Chains A and B, each alone.
Chain A
């Protein structure tokens, strides 16, 4: 049996505000195999973003373990986590979060500044990433000169340019119209099927969830699984 990509064990997350303590989830256990494409759904405030943050090592659990490819990440130092993220995780956000001062190509190049790649190779990689998401013709444009769908494509290119194992997407189509959302989702599906990227995608949109291999419903700190197309 090969090692799973993620193994979450007895994961709990609580926020304490003064004397009050709210539990987002309690003793959550789940496995994400390599190459998986999961859609996470659930009501607002159910902890979907919190879960993505734990998977991405930008938030720490109150208790429990997050194991990535056999290595615990929940107790890593900030510096080690930054390195780990740069090598293994790509993030895609609802509002794209591109750097407004940089062109599309420069935005995509950003994660490569953390690698030892030379200028020529970086350019090559940026070009490839932009090609994969179908936006190479807009390489020189700034985010304000791009539509929402185009910006999200650039954001996806940025997420994959360093060749991570997993893409963590928080409502990637939440700000897009149906047709554009479908294009973006098709791109994600392509990345999953053709390039074997594991994808964990939070969404409110049931038709977006259809692009995933499986759906998880997060409610009151528990998962309800729903197997989709194979």
Chain B
């Protein structure tokens, strides 16, 4: 027997109580880790954004397009190494619920803008030379089991062709993936020219520009130059870093960070109160035993540590079980092609786990502090008086 035996036996002396406490802690950390996993995955674009990439959008809103000529004009701005342009196609495959994130791009400059993309099937040349080519991200290809050589029609819920239809035919001629597994490859690319020529309205517009600067240190100057160039024109621009752009894009879905903070905050506040009061009561019930230990000669600081260890152990067991359960659930979800297609790389991850462990330690310390203090200060003679 040692100090740890005492802590363990005391913690589990009332099995039902311990299990209920563990369960409530488990739930809180389950919520935390599941939301954390989604948040991480949604923000992967923000974190993996290249430092030298800028995005120029219409100042009104990034869903509003800009004149085609802007592309060429930005290319001549000092400090710009490469400019590409992209357009939101908003496609779906067969049925509207089969959403396929598709962009009409200028292939050559686009691949130059994103050097981290590499072709795993087909080739860059195939993409560049075939006007009807659909270059498919590896995660997306996996989701719909698409292979090079297949013909797929995609519908747009935004655009219309001149003949009144809104389905475009594509040849899958290349599949690409990102070097980094955390970067989602869950979208498809096709030729801007094919797109633009068939449009019934809004021709000769570009959705946004992607700029690589000569050096990240020039980012600010380049953004200012671009925005100054279009100031006081009918379509003013706003140029930001890719990270800021990704963030704004995600926030279209709602302020996910705030939702996560509120939900996990509420869960933690609840368990803090439940575990806190239960610990105080549990230790109060043991006042007499603690007095006996002191009588035997256990020093007050050791009693303090013992009680604190109990609440820490409780919090760590419950929390780790919660994160473990979250990791299993998230893993199961990520096995579904629908999820891996739209949220590739979905997992709890180390960052969330470590933050979680930090919370567990904090929870254990906060809930243990008052009972540990009470136990440490309890007067032996008085404790024995209370039979």
Contact A111 B297 (CB under 8 A): yes
Chain B residues whose C-beta falls within 8 Å of the C-beta of A111 in the assembled complex: 296-297
Chain A residues whose C-beta falls within 8 Å of the C-beta of B387 in the assembled complex: 95
Contact A58 B295 (CB under 8 A): yes
CB distance from A102 to the nearest CB of B (A): 7
CB-nearest residue of chain A to B289:
A99
Contact B296 A114 (CB under 8 A): yes
Contact B299 A58 (CB under 8 A): no
Q: How far is the CA of A2 from the CA of B314 in the complex (A)?
A: 53
Whether, in the assembled complex, A65 has its beta carbon less than 8 Å from a beta carbon of chain B, the answer is no
Whether, in the assembled complex, B381 has its beta carbon less than 8 Å from a beta carbon of chain A, the answer is yes
Whether, in the assembled complex, B292 has its beta carbon less than 8 Å from a beta carbon of chain A, the answer is yes
Interface size on A, residues (CB 8 A): 29
Whether, in the assembled complex, A21 has its beta carbon less than 8 Å from a beta carbon of chain B, the answer is no
Q: How far is the CA of A97 from the CA of B300 in the complex (A)?
A: 19
CB distance from B297 to the nearest CB of A (A): 3
Interface 0/1 of B1-28, CB less than 8 Å to A: 1110110011001000000000000000
Whether, in the assembled complex, A149 has its beta carbon less than 8 Å from a beta carbon of chain B, the answer is no
Chain A residues whose C-beta falls within 8 Å of the C-beta of B51 in the assembled complex: none
Which residues of chain B (265-314) have a CB below 8 Å from chain A?
Answer: 288-289, 292-301
> Which of the 9-residue segments A85-93, A177-185, A201-209, A210-218 touches chain B?
A85-93
Chain B interface size, under 10 / 10 to 19 / 20 to 34 / 35 or more: 20 to 34
CB distance from A16 to the nearest CB of B (A): 15
Contact B381 A85 (CB under 8 A): no
Whether, in the assembled complex, B199 has its beta carbon less than 8 Å from a beta carbon of chain A, the answer is no
> Which of the 9-residue segments A75-83, A129-137, A187-195 touches chain B?
A75-83
Set A91, A101, A102: member contacting B296, Cβ < 8 A: A91
CB-nearest residue of chain A to B10:
A101
Contact B381 A53 (CB under 8 A): yes
Whether, in the assembled complex, B50 has its beta carbon less than 8 Å from a beta carbon of chain A, the answer is no
Contact B295 A91 (CB under 8 A): yes
Contact A79 B1 (CB under 8 A): no
Chain A residues whose C-beta falls within 8 Å of the C-beta of B10 in the assembled complex: 101
**Contact flag A110-B293 (CB < 8 Å), given A101-B10, A102-B9:** yes
Whether, in the assembled complex, A59 has its beta carbon less than 8 Å from a beta carbon of chain B, the answer is yes
Whether, in the assembled complex, B178 has its beta carbon less than 8 Å from a beta carbon of chain A, the answer is no
Chain B residues whose C-beta falls within 8 Å of the C-beta of A95 in the assembled complex: 387
Contact B381 A58 (CB under 8 A): yes
Whether, in the assembled complex, A56 has its beta carbon less than 8 Å from a beta carbon of chain B, the answer is yes
Whether, in the assembled complex, A106 has its beta carbon less than 8 Å from a beta carbon of chain B, the answer is yes
Whether, in the assembled complex, A70 has its beta carbon less than 8 Å from a beta carbon of chain B, the answer is no
Q: How far is the CA of A85 from the CA of B291 in the complex (A)?
A: 13
Chain B residues whose C-beta falls within 8 Å of the C-beta of A99 in the assembled complex: 289, 292
Q: How far is the CA of A3 from the CA of B292 in the complex (A)?
A: 30
Set A97, A101, A109: member contacting B288, Cβ < 8 A: A97
Contact A85 B13 (CB under 8 A): no
Q: How far is the CA of A48 from the CA of B56 in the complex (A)?
A: 88
| Residue of B10, B288, B293, B300 with most chain A CB atoms under a 10 A cut-off | B293
- 22 examples of A-B residue contacts, CB within 8 angstroms: A53-B380, A78-B300, A79-B299, A82-B297, A82-B300, A83-B299, A84-B297, A85-B295, A87-B297, A89-B297, A91-B296, A93-B384, A97-B289, A99-B289, A99-B292, A100-B289, A101-B13, A102-B1, A106-B5, A109-B1, A113-B3, A113-B6
Residue ranges of A at the interface with B (Cβ–Cβ < 8 Å): 49, 53, 56, 58-59, 78-79, 82-87, 89, 91, 93, 95, 97, 99-102, 106, 109-111, 113-114, 158
Which 4 A-B pairs have CB atoms at the shortest separation, nearest pair first? Answer: A86-B297, A101-B9, A58-B380, A85-B297
